[in-house]
Amino acid sequence: MNSHGYRKNLKGISESLGYDVLEHRLFSFSSNPLNPTALTIIRKETDTELPSSILACPRFKTLLKEIGGMMFIPEAFVVYPIIGGIPCLRIENGVFASKYEEITNAKTFRL
C-alpha cells in the first residue's frame, strides 16, 4: 500500500484536520481483501467562498498563475499555453521558462 501511494486512515486524518465526518464504513464486498474499499462522507463547509476555478500543474500538483496569456508554475519555472481560452495542461505541453515571470513583469525589455 505504501509503495503504491494509496491513502490510508482517511477518517482519522479528516478528523485530525477538524472536518466533520458524517459516515465512515467499509463496503461489504471488496475484490481484493488486502485492499478494502471504504466510504467516507465529510460535511462540506458552506460559509467559505470558493474560487471560480482552481488549476494545478499536472506534474507538480501546485497552483498555476495566469501571466501574460500563459499558465505559469513559479516553483518549477514551467509555462503551459492557453489556446482559444483553454489552458493546455498536459505534461508534454509544459515548457521550461526560468525567466518567464521576470520578462512578463518587466515594463520594457530588449531581445
Task: Return the CATH number at 71.
Answer: 2.20.25.10
More confident residue, 96 or 46: 96
- Amino acid letter, 63: L
pTM (2 decimals)?
0.50
Spell out the residues 6+ positions from residue 1 whose beta carbon is closer than 8 angstroms to its own: 8, 35
Report pLDDT for 108.
Answer: 46
Residue 11, SS3? helix
**How many other C-beta atoms are found inside a 10 Å radius of the C-beta of residue 84?**
5
Does 5 fall in a domain? no
- Domain span at residue 90 reads 51-111
Number of structural domains in the chain: 2
User: Which residue matches cell numbers 498563475?
Assistant: 65
pLDDT of 48 higher than 80:
no
Both 55 and 100 in one domain: the answer is: yes
Tens digits of per-residue pLDDT, 54-101? 888 999 888 898 888 899 988 889 999 999 999 999 999 999 998 888
Tens digits of per-residue pLDDT, 17-45? 888 999 999 888 888 887 788 889 998 77
More confident residue, 6 or 10: 10
Report pLDDT for 107.
Answer: 47
Q: What angle do CA 15, 19, 20 make, to 5 degrees?
A: 95
